[in-house]
């Protein structure tokens, strides 16, 4: 009898503990909760952190994150206004602002990701479709992201979701378009290179012609200066010779004859055969000095 009573008390204690564990839950500061009673959500949602109670086995609690969540989309192909295919890679930051709507429409984060994918893609296609490829690639992505976020946020509120930010990470051309664009860019660069080479060659010809003209002018001026200096030197030498001749005509004639010998009788030169003349008078012996 005592054993049966003890077993009953133990089972009762276990039942109480299980009941209490099912009737108590803790809510973290970064979470919010929605109590569902027999499949029907109870309002309002609970966002106050701490210890909370629920009816065991009748009510269940669904937890939702209050923090910013990130949804990274797969790159999507978008058609620009000028009919160019672009592959746009983007991501979205969002959060749950109405747990009841969120639970009733998408249930959990996986369902929310599916909805966000549709919403963001449709708005990417709509907004970017209003701009040309060059405007999308080289324009202000912040402005484009703001327009996409505002339009997408209008659609996401019915799911209890607030879209905080939509960012375009990169915009690429599909592979086949990239090759065509690359070929056009390569052709354009080659054309520009030929143009620059032609302009450079033309400028080089002008520079060389100018340098040649300046060279001729400098050479002419240098030749003129050299002739003037040479003429002045010859005139000065003539004057010196004349002065020397007047001072001692015999000595002047003797030195000039020796200079002529030096030029005529070059070492290893050919033999000179000529009739005797006054040119060799200083080689024929001492000349008697007249008294």
Report the residue count for the chain.
291
Residue whose structure tokens are 């327009």: 147
Ranges under pLDDT 70 in the chain: 1-5, 7, 9-10, 12, 15-17, 19-21, 174-178, 181, 245, 248, 264-291
Axis-axis angle for helices 175-247, 249-264 (nearest 10): 140
User: Out of 3.40.50.300, 3.40.630.190, 3.30.479.30, 3.30.70.240, which CATH number does the structure's domain 69-173 have?
Assistant: 3.30.479.30
Its pTM stands at 0.57
For 90-113, write each residue's pLDDT tens digit: 999 999 999 999 999 999 999 999
For 244-267, write each residue's pLDDT tens digit: 767 767 777 777 777 777 776 666
Helix (H) or strand (E) holding 226: helix 175-247
Peptide bond connecting 16 to the previous residue in cis, omega within 30 degrees of 0: no
Which neighbouring-strand residues pair with 33? 46, 63
Residue spans per domain, the chain: 18-65, 69-173, 249-283
């Amino acid at each position: 009898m005592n054993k049966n009573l003890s077993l009953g008390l133990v089972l009762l204690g276990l039942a109480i503990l299980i009941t209490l564990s099912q009737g108590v839950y803790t809510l973290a500061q970064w979470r919010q909760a929605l109590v569902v009673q027999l499949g029907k959500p109870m309002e309002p949602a609970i966002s106050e952190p701490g210890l909370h109670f629920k009816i065991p086995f009748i009510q269940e609690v669904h937890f939702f994150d209050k923090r910013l969540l990130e949804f990274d989309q797969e790159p999507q192909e978008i058609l620009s206004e000028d009919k160019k295919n672009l592959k746009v890679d983007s991501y979205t930051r969002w959060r749950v602002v109405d747990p009841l709507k969120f639970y009733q429409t998408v249930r959990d984060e996986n369902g929310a990701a599916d909805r966000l994918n549709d919403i963001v893609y449709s708005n990417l296609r709509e907004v970017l479709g209003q701009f040309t490829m060059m405007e999308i690639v080289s324009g202000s992505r912040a402005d484009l992201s703001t327009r996409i976020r505002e339009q997408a946020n209008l659609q996401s509120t019915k799911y209890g979701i607030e879209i905080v930010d939509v960012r375009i990470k990169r915009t690429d051309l599909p592979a086949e378009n990239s090759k065509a664009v690359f070929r056009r860019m390569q052709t354009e660069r080659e054309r520009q290179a030929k143009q620059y080479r032609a302009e450079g060659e033309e400028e080089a010809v002008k520079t060389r012609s100018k340098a040649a003209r300046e060279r001729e002018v400098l050479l002419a001026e240098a030749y003129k200066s050299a002739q003037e200096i040479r003429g002045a030197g010859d005139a000065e030498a003539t004057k010196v010779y004349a002065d020397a001749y007047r001072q001692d005509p015999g000595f002047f004639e003797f030195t000039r004859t020796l200079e002529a010998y030096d030029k005529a009788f070059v070492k290893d030169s050919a033999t000179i055969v000529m009739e005797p003349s006054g040119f060799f008078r200083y080689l024929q012996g001492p000349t008697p000095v007249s008294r």
